[in-house]
A and B are shown apart, each in its own frame.
Chain A
């Protein structure tokens, strides 16, 4: 192999490495960016990312797609999150009012200990289904920026609105649900 060929091979290799690193950077950036929040901010109704997660009540797994046909109040929370403690009774109360009207409440416990999550649900008497996402696999895809955060999904599986931070009162919760129930 001549020096010129060796130099050419080294240059090609360097370009390949740089392109690969840029690819890795682009992949990482797109992983961190949520299409859901971006589309919501533009006034759109993005499809709610699918997930299948372990239920905290021990009844196997919950597949989000199985809820198609009903409006879903999807609440991201953690037992160590202070505002979640204030919000949970409001959600439980909302669940009682809406469960017979084609609305499902689902809690997603994120980055938490299972035991702590179960104790939290028992302490606040939560009866709507809750799933466990200790690794936080749903956080990036939904664009959750903090806890708690609530998404309102319509019967077609599209996110209609979200509340970043705690739901303040029943009126705010009901407004989100009514948007999810309204025709597209």
Chain B
């Protein structure tokens, strides 16, 4: 029963993504593509080349192209820099891996530090003094403590 529910949930989540791939809207593509001249997304640009790209996108949608096909056609003309989100392959993969690597490194560093600090406390035993107190200082300390004794 639980497996069926999980499969249904996966289907419900996957359906919009598949629909978006097969029947993309101009608005979503314009938010996922960058104007090569002004370097902002197409939906916020009115540069001549951006307007031309928007017209291209609408024509390709009308012709029945998928989202991937439209993006591939634009990358073929302008290069991968027109993609607002870098592809997860080749050199651009670094843009995805570096933040994750940094996060993993940070977690490991914090974990190691926490482990060392907790070991350094040494449980309930009081820490042993490395060197004996100077006799004069010890006497002074005893006198000071004696003042607080009832």
Contacts and interface: CB of A to CB of B under 8 A. Distances in A.
A82 B78 contact: no
Contacts of B113: 3, 6, 10
A144 B109 CA distance: 46
Contact of A134 (B37, B79, B112): B79
A111 B107 CA distance: 43
Contacts of B78: 111, 134-136
Nearest to A113: B77
Nearest to B47: A80
Say whether chain B's binding surface is mostly helix, strand, loop, or mixed.
helix
Contact of B37 (A10, A111, A113, A135): A111
Nearest to B56: A113
25 contacts: A3-B113, A3-B116, A3-B117, A3-B120, A6-B112, A6-B113, A6-B116, A10-B113, A78-B49, A80-B51, A81-B48, A111-B36, A111-B49, A111-B78, A113-B52, A113-B56, A113-B77, A114-B77, A116-B52, A134-B78, A135-B78, A135-B79, A136-B36, A136-B78, A136-B79
Interface residues of A, number: 16
A112 interface: yes
Given A111-B36, A134-B78, A135-B78, A82 B116 contact: no
B40 interface: no
Nearest to A3: B116
Interface of B: 36-37, 48-49, 51-52, 56, 77-79, 81, 105, 109, 112-113, 116-117, 120
Interface of A: 3, 6, 10, 13, 78, 80-82, 111-114, 116, 134-136
B116 A112 contact: no
Contacts of A78: 49
B67 to A, nearest CB: 19
